Amino acid sequence: MNREELKKEFLNEWPINRVGNMVLEEYTNLNKTSFCYWLESKTQDLGSIWGGSSFKFGIYRKNSTKVNTNKGYSSDNEYAWVTKYGKTADEAFSTVKSVINEIVDAAQKNELQRIDKVNLGPAYKWKVAFLYSDYKVVNIYKPEALQFAAESLGMNKVHNSPSSELHKFIMGNKLLTESYYGFTGRLWHEYAASLKNTGLPGANELPPMSADLTNEKIALNTILYGPPGTGKTFNTINIAVEISDPAFYEQNKDDRAKLRERYNQLLIKDWGNMQKGQIGFCTFHQNFTYEDFIEGIKPIKPAVEDNFLKYDVQDGIFKKITERAHYFSNGLVLKNKALINIKESDYQNANFYKISLGDVNKPEDQAIYDYCIENSCISIGFMGGYDLTDKTINDFNQIVQDNNWSRYAAQAMNYFNHYLQVGDYFIVSKGNYKVRAIGKVIGSYYYDENAPIPSYHFRKVEWLIENTEIPIAEIYQKALSQQTIYSLNKAWINKEFFVSNISTSARDNQVQNFVLIIDEINRGNISQIFGELITLIEKDKRAGKDEALEITLPYSKEVFSVPPNLYILGTMNTADRSVEALDTALRRRFSFIEMPPKAEKIKFEGRLKDMAGMLGEIDLVELLDTINKRIEKLLDKNHMIGHSYLMNVSNINDLKQAFYESIIPLLQEYFYGDFAKIGLVLGSGFFKAEPKNQALDKKIFADFFHEAIDELSSREVLRLKNISKMTDDDFTEALQKLLNKKTENATL
């Protein structure tokens, strides 16, 4: 049984309602079924509280009838207890039970500061808190170890900080990609390692949690969800870099500037030219479709020889990044590197061309490609019926003119006959973004009217790579065009791909991970956008897995699957739409990581961290917590205010700006301009009453009978104050009223 399952088993055995109704015999007994036995023994893998006497439980069932006479402790024939909890066993248990229920309630509400004040042994009370919290408490119960962990993560003055602050700070530093038990196990292991050879008690004992040091990476399909301003997009950058370049991330995980720079380097900025990009970004919206995401039929820019508008099947962003991920997941990189063996001198002397062997969108043209591969040749079909041996460009132009053909036919044949030289290299396109073969020209032009394909102009070639799908970005810095044949710009060619004396880079020797970030994933029509591919993204349905699936796409008729090295990372703003309202198919296939407001980050990581989040007399942590508690009462937790709005506050003007530009507009949106509810959140200090004018007020309404006309005419009209024009003193006073620190003149 793993640790998550063990915690669930405990909660199934000891649900909150049972703890609330618990009797003394359930709390402590000699049958190994009690609450205390579960805490100390059965759940020891969730953090040990062994050691010390049984008085740590407040009261316990004795295994003898001996009466305890030690000062501060009491006993009878069955139980022993700490005297401060009561004069009798029943009285002591009633007190302890009340204390435990207080801990459970505080842990459930994440109000950890309440637990600091609870009068119970520290290890015991914090283990209770861990078991009933949603992984908001660190399962390290030894105070010295907890302080060591917080200090190692950068917290100052740990010895003067209450335990609740240590827990909040430590959990605030857990990476989203790191499992809870991997994170806390690592911290415990570091503490144990620091004690070795010190001669301190327990220094050479390996703590129980040190065995679990696994760092479970983020799931293949993950959605970060939470209210505005909780760091969802901020964290996608960290996660994307860790997934796509783990070595860089490990070296620079504490340097936000470097992570941001690396993210920008890996980000695919031009989907037409995905040169070395591993991170894709898109935003779902109401008009985003399957055709944008997977593939669709769209008009294409006319080529020189076109006389009418053409349409083509064009790949969407998901298909593009999927195919690129495929290339780096199945060993094709090294295989192709081994097949291409061009010397530096040959590369410098050669020219490079792109050629199409038939139209990949026409099934009947596959025969052209197959024939060329089997017979080591290339062919194009312009000017059929004319042997162009020894013909010049002028001859080509005359033939085109005589037959009323496109002028491009002459240009294409000129490239094929005259420009393309023995020793030159060419790539065979498969659409605009893939290469399906690479070859070298070894023979001159020849004409074969008996060829079994509708193309009679040929050149003999040596195939270097065939029947593959190489992303064009690996070879060339631009997407390929629809022209049948043209010269490639050598400055845009990836020399590393062709030249054998350039050493294979480390990135080619390992599977590369790719990340597609979908911002605002809940705003799109998921069923419409993913279509039939929603099943293929499941972990066990990915290519190469035992239950792997593949489908034939509706437009291109290509076989499609999703590789295991492509991560989908979505974000969703719960103020727009709750998780429960999401498409059921999406919810089943994604892991969800909640990103709630973490006000304590303001204290430990914000611009005012040196002042512990204090701006004069205003505690920013208390300020945000107060606002959010009121919003949760009036609406729900999905509409709370994120900590990021106050992270960069360093002075009163910054705080004014945060309220003026972010917090108040959000409240107006949440409550649809209902000043009564906004006032319940902000208090009277942010409102002003319009001056009354009895003469004008009586004439404000049209001439019509209403029984309450006098009351309506005299009703007070409230306006939100313009914060940008408030003095610092007025703004501070308004904040004090918000926090209920000043009650005088609290009503308008």
> According to the model, what pLDDT value does residue 332 have?
63
Domain boundary among 211, 242, 262: 211
Residues 110 and 176 in one domain: yes
Total domain count for the chain? 4
CATH of residue 418: 3.10.590
- Which residues of the chain, if any, have pLDDT below 50? 202-216, 502-509, 743-748
Report the relative pairing of strands 566-573 and 514-519 from DSSP bridges: parallel
Residue 312 domain flag: no
Residues 347 and 431 in one domain: yes
Residue 664 domain flag: yes
Domain boundary among 146, 177, 211: 211
Please give the Cα distance from 142 to 270 (Å, whole number): 53
> According to the model, what pLDDT value does residue 743 have?
46
314 closest CA partner among 293, 333, 331, 335: 293
Residue 716 domain flag: yes
∠ CA 647-151-167 to the nearest 5 degrees? 65
Report the relative pairing of strands 295-300 and 457-465 from DSSP bridges: unpaired
pTM of the model: 0.72
Sign of CA dihedral 70, 74, 78, 79: negative
∠ CA 408-413-416 to the nearest 5 degrees? 130
Residue 199 domain flag: yes
The model's pLDDT over 18-47, given as tens digits with 9 standing for 90+, comes to: 999 999 999 999 888 999 999 998 998 898
Residue 623 domain flag: yes
Residues 460 and 559 in one domain: no
Residues 378 and 492 in one domain: yes
CATH of residue 230: 3.40.50
Please give the Cα distance from 724 to 537 (Å, whole number): 49
> According to the model, what pLDDT value does residue 705 have?
82
The model's pLDDT over 667-700, given as tens digits with 9 standing for 90+, comes to: 999 999 899 999 999 999 999 987 766 666 667 8
Please give the Cα distance from 720 to 743 (Å, whole number): 19
For residue 734, the number of C-alpha atoms closer than 13 Å in the C-beta half-sphere is: 24
> According to the model, what pLDDT value does residue 67 have?
60
Tally of residues, the chain: 748
Which residue has tokens 């699957």? 561
Residues 68 and 161 in one domain: yes
Burial class (CB in 10 A: 0-12, 13-18, 19+), 627: buried
> Residue 518 is part of which domain span?
218-284+513-596
Residue 747 domain flag: no
Residue 306 domain flag: no
Which residue has tokens 């069932």? 61
312 closest CA partner among 435, 434, 482: 482
Token pair, residue 137, equals 């408490």
Token pair, residue 512, equals 């590369």
Region of residue 332 (phi > 0: left; psi between -120 and 50: alpha; otherwise: beta): alpha
Residues 703 and 631 in one domain: yes
Residues 271 and 190 in one domain: no
> According to the model, what pLDDT value does residue 690 have?
77
Region of residue 252 (phi > 0: left; psi between -120 and 50: alpha; otherwise: beta): alpha
DSSP state, residue 15 = -
> According to the model, what pLDDT value does residue 576 have?
82
Please give the Cα distance from 20 to 442 (Å, whole number): 87
Residues 207 and 256 in one domain: no
Domain boundary among 211, 234, 263: 211
Report the relative pairing of strands 485-487 and 221-226 from DSSP bridges: unpaired
Q: What is the 3-state secondary structure (H, E, C) of 503-568?
A: CCCHHHHCCCCEEEEEECHHHCCHHHHHHHHHCCCCHHHCCCCCCCCCEECCCCCCEECCCCCEEE
Residues 487 and 534 in one domain: no
∠ CA 329-331-333 to the nearest 5 degrees? 100
